[in-house]
Structure 1
Amino acid sequence: MATLIPALIVMGVSGCGKSSVGEAIVRYSGGMLIEGDQYHPAENIAKMSAGIPLDDDDRAGWLARLGEVLAAAVAAGEHPVMPCSALKRQYRERLRYAVPGLGFVFLELSREVAGQRVSNRPGHFMPASLIDSQFATLEPPNGEPQTLVLDATLPIDRLGQLTAEWWRHPQPHVRRA
């Protein structure tokens, strides 16, 4: 796969479909999925499971680890797709520092739809009670380089297709409904 973007982060609030869309992107792009949530330390998962939002300090080690994992995959010749909330610009900048040219796919979603989706998601550590904190933390990546903004209510398969197409022929900042 020839691309100017070595790896992708599928970002957004909880419930936007990051993991499902990441899987669809991999199907259409030939990339490899690396689930960002798997790298949360036990303390972060316990905190979120208890309904306590993470702060910048909680996320610092997690983001450093994600950057290492992404950089290693790219160095090995892989094309990783990583679902990761990446809610703040400073988090995205840390990841961009680890992997220059990193692309972001922002799955935009309303608070109401996110709440419904998270409430109906069995077995996940992130409770619906944390949706408001996710939106309070979110700094949309408007105008940021190598960023595709998509409506998260589109069918997952379509989101995967749109992203794979953009990844093959990237443009600096694109918004598609």
Structure 2
Amino acid sequence: MIAIVCGVSGTGKSTIGKLLADALALPFYDGDDFHPDANVEKMKSGVPLNDDDRQPWLELLANEIASWESRGGAVLACSALKESYRQVLAAKCHGRIEWIMLHGTAELLNERLTSRKGHFFDLRLLASQLSALELPDYGWTIDIAPPPSQIIDNILMRLNKE
């Protein structure tokens, strides 16, 4: 199984992704770890990435997803803000992807990002991510307000129904 936990920065993709991977006994990967240095520097400087910046990163992740699928699956935390990005990510995957879109209010996201330490994401980029966000009409959109344990229970319950 491939599960992709998506959303804008501050939604808890890494936290939820790690917890989900543990619950499913699958490896966890963070899409941020695959960004080239130029993308990281751009984001650190408060400059939003454009589609040209993201394309090689998305293609690299698509290759990784295919590799993880062949080895039994994985959970990936990745923003996957636009439908076109999700199409690139899914292009080389032969099976179904469980898309889990984490979503919350701008106020909650601002609060989380303001208190976060040691991450390269610049708070000024949140507005650009929110404006680029295209919520899918497939998969699940999950409210981030509850505690992580409750979010994981919700996701696992949904997975068990399928």
Gaps of 5+ in 1: 1-5, 171-177
Are 1:165 and 2:152 an aligned pair? no
Are 1:42 and 2:42 an aligned pair? no
Which residue in the other structure is 2:50 paired with?
55
Question: Could you give the per-residue CA deviations for residues 113-160 of structure 1, whole angstroms, max 9, x where no partner exists?
Answer: 11111111011000111110010110111x22xx01110111111212
Alignment of 1:105-120 (within 5 A): 105-120=100-115
Secondary structure (helix, strand or coil) at the match of 1:59 reads helix
User: Structure 2: how far apart are the matches of 1:57 and 1:81?
Assistant: 25
Question: Could you give the per-residue CA deviations for residues 12-43 of structure 1, whole angstroms, max 9, x where no partner exists?
Answer: 01000000000111122112101111000000
Instruction: Verify the 8 A CA contact 1:32 1:80 in the aligned structure 2.
Output: yes
Question: Could you give the per-residue CA deviations for residues 92-128 of structure 1, whole angstroms, max 9, x where no partner exists?
Answer: 1111212141121011111111111111101100011
What TM-score, normalized to structure 2?
Answer: 0.95
Are 1:96 and 2:90 an aligned pair? yes
Aligned residues: percent identity? 33
User: Structure 1: how far apart are the matches of 2:89 and 2:157?
Assistant: 23
Gaps of 5+ in 2: none
Question: Could you give the per-residue CA deviations for residues 25-82 of structure 1, whole angstroms, max 9, x where no partner exists?
Answer: 11221121011110000000000000000010110000001111111011012x2110
Work out which of the residue numbers 129, 133, 143 in structure 2 matches 1:151: 143
Which residue in the other structure is 1:65 paired with?
60
User: Structure 2: how far apart are the matches of 1:148 and 1:105?
Assistant: 5
Q: Normalized per residue, which structure has more helix?
A: 2
What TM-score, normalized to structure 1?
Answer: 0.87
Runs of 4+ in structure 1 off by over 2 angstroms are 164-170
Secondary structure (helix, strand or coil) at the match of 1:9 reads strand
Which residue in the other structure is 1:76 paired with?
71
Which residue in the other structure is 2:11 paired with?
16
